[in-house]
Amino acid sequence: MGSGGAPAGAVIGFSASSEAACPADHAWAVLADYARDAEWRGAVESMVPTPPGPAAPGTLTAERMRFAGRILHNDGEVVSAGPGLRFAWRTTSGVDAEGSREVVPLGPDRCRIVLRTRVRPTGVERALAPLVRLVLRRGLRADLRRLRSLCETRTCSGTDRRP
């Protein structure tokens, strides 16, 4: 058993959600465009989707990110999309992770953004699972705040929405 009674190889799962004062399609245009990840995901230096454009089943990604002082390279793929404004992803190399992104319309100018991530630590990272969990949870919450701010101040094309 690891810290907190969890098995040493257990999955670290967490989610974050927030309401945003913007139309759901504007939030979706940012959230579903992997090429824009570096604008709101603090650890991401670059993310290249193939093909470019909104995430869809079969979209492949090449990510370069910083974590715990290291540069990580993760490849991934979108495994499903829908129903609605939602897609699920998983890594195919690098960190062993999976998750989903979703936008839930709440009215013409409001939506809820939901991010879910599950990571399976390997090797020495298993011993550090409690610390990894804390760092990743804080990072996801900070990413969500940046995403919400980006969506509330810009449209999907990058045009300023502020009065």
Domain segments of the chain: what residues?
10-153
CA-only gyration radius of the chain, Å: 16
**In degrees rounded to 5, what are phi and psi of residue 143?**
-60, -45
Average pLDDT over residues 43-72: 94
**In degrees rounded to 5, what are phi and psi of residue 108?**
-65, -30
User: Distance between CA atoms of 14 and 160, rounded to whole angstroms?
Assistant: 32
Q: Is the pLDDT of residue 6 over 70?
A: no
Note the pLDDT of residue 67. 82
Helix (H, G, I), strand (E, B) or coil at 129: helix
Q: Look over the chain and give the mean of its residue pLDDT values, rounded to a whole number.
A: 88
Percent of the chain with pLDDT over 90: 71
Percent of the chain with pLDDT over 70: 88
Note the pLDDT of residue 9. 52
Helices (H), the chain: 24-31, 37-40, 129-153
The CATH class of the 10-153 domain is alpha beta
